[in-house]
Amino acid sequence: MDIKENLTNIENAIKASCDKVGRDPNTVNIVAVTKYVSVATTKAALDNGLIHIGENRAEGALEKWEELNERGVWHFIGSLQTRKVKKIIGKYEYLHSLDRLSLAEELDKRLKEGQKIKCFVQVNVSGEESKAGIEPNHLRTFIDQLADFEKIQVVGLMTMAPFYEDPELTRPIFKQLRQLRDEIKSLKLDHAPCTELSMGMSNDYLVAVEEGATFVRIGSALVGRE
């Protein structure tokens, strides 16, 4: 895997998509998803200038975090069991999968005084049963309830689209997440500024960028699988 070459190609493609819709490419952050790769490859990602590292397993990522934590900004992107919260606490600046109050409660309890975690509320836009996330019509209530937890900062919304051969088919899902984000953002809530959109993976990140993604989560197309 040539991470440097992959990154250049991805950045150029993102720039082209941004040009198409009149966006500034600097507003798109690449989260390098390293869940399939070793510590060495994760280090190589950082060496190539990537800053945001995404992992989806508390234990699986521990070794990487211990060796490399001073260098990156760490994102927990997978579903998180409540009992595993203590394993990730203080290690990750971002959580992309906040999907229930019990999780918010546990995070709020475990974080130290003055610590905060930046959260994306995961929304199940596609409605697939296999996908985690809040249903779109429950989102507003959920966001309001999160005001009770002072250590939770809702920075944005996240979704996972189904895998389609033709990434164009994901567009309506990303569009809907953006509309939901705009609705919450317009409320100007202190605990939920909700300015960000975490959407798009290796197969569909360009469509997500066209629809406003500010964080794309890219694994296989960037760092490969080992």
Ligand X SMILES: *Cc1c(COP(=O)(O)O)cnc(C)c1O
Site residues (vs ligand X, CB under 6 A): 33, 35, 56, 77-78, 160, 201-203, 217-221
Backbone angles phi, psi at 152, to 5 degrees: -100, 120
Q: Which of 180, 72, 175, 60 shows the shortest CA–CA distance to 121?
A: 180
Residue nearest ligand X, Cβ-based: 219
Minimum CB separation of residue 174 from ligand X in Å reads 14
Contact 198, 160 (CB under 8 A): no
Minimum CB separation of residue 139 from ligand X in Å reads 18
Minimum CB separation of residue 31 from ligand X in Å reads 8
CA 36, CA 83: separation in Å to the nearest integer? 23
Closest CB to ligand X among 109 and 225?
225
CA 66, CA 215: separation in Å to the nearest integer? 24
Where in the chain does DSSP place strands (E)?
A: 29-33, 52-55, 73-76, 94-98, 117-122, 152-158, 196-198, 215-218
Closest CB to ligand X among 46 and 114?
46
226 CA to centre of own chain: 22
Closest CB to ligand X among 41 and 56?
56
Minimum CB separation of residue 103 from ligand X in Å reads 15
Helix intervals (H) in 48-160: 62-68, 85-88, 101-110, 139-145
Closest CB to ligand X among 33 and 177?
33
Closest CB to ligand X among 23 and 75?
75
Minimum CB separation of residue 187 from ligand X in Å reads 26
